[in-house]
Amino acid sequence: MSQPSPSAAGTAGGATIERPEGFRRVAALLAARGHPHAPVWLEVAARTSQEAADALGVAVGQIAKSVVFRRVADARAVLVVASGDRRVDEAKVTAHAGPIGRADATFVKASTGFAIGGVSPLAHATEPIVLIDRELFRFDVIWAAAGHPNGVFRLTPGELVVLTGAPVADVTP
């Protein structure tokens, strides 16, 4: 796998390529918080956990997928950061956040600032309620979306908790 420069701008044939705004926003936040791993730009879009795992050469469970719901009471986004090989149990999320419904692509983009397939666990347009799947702690290293389907960043489950300030929860069957 070939991973281009982890900077917010890359080069191609000597010309500078500006990365998308969401990717730059995540990169800036990670740098400001002193995270040791800058986001990397994948050669292929990784909109699913399997695509990301294939591109990175890691287990599907190591992908910290972002699943967004819409809380019924106030239309606030509820972001579940779950292990890529697990299904999110909506009843368990409801127990933590209150009744939830599905979130369409327009809601996800408006509330997080990211398109589906590139929703980062941090640097949102509007702060969502965030829950972190305890199943991520099976792995020493995980990878999360960095604001674009081609962007990812490396971290540990513990770093995810620190970066998001979110609780670890039982959200999978």
CA distance 1 to 56: 7
Percent of the chain with pLDDT over 70: 90
pTM of the model: 0.90
- Domains plus CATH for the chain? 9-169 (3.90.960.10)
3-state secondary structure of 172: coil
Give the position of tokens 């697990």: 86
- Going by the DSSP 8-state scheme, the letter that residue 165 receives in this structure is -
- Going by the DSSP 8-state scheme, the letter that residue 20 receives in this structure is P
Average pLDDT estimate for 39-65: 97
pLDDT in the model for residue 18: 87
Burial class (CB in 10 A: 0-12, 13-18, 19+), 142: buried
How close are the terminal C-alpha atoms of the chain, in Å?
Answer: 33
Average model confidence (pLDDT) for the chain? 92
Average pLDDT estimate for 75-83: 98
How, if at all, do strands 40-41 and 151-155 pair? Answer: antiparallel
Task: Give the DSSP H or E segment for 90.
Answer: helix 90-97
Strand-pair partners of 71: 100
pLDDT in the model for residue 9: 44
CA distance 57 to 1: 8
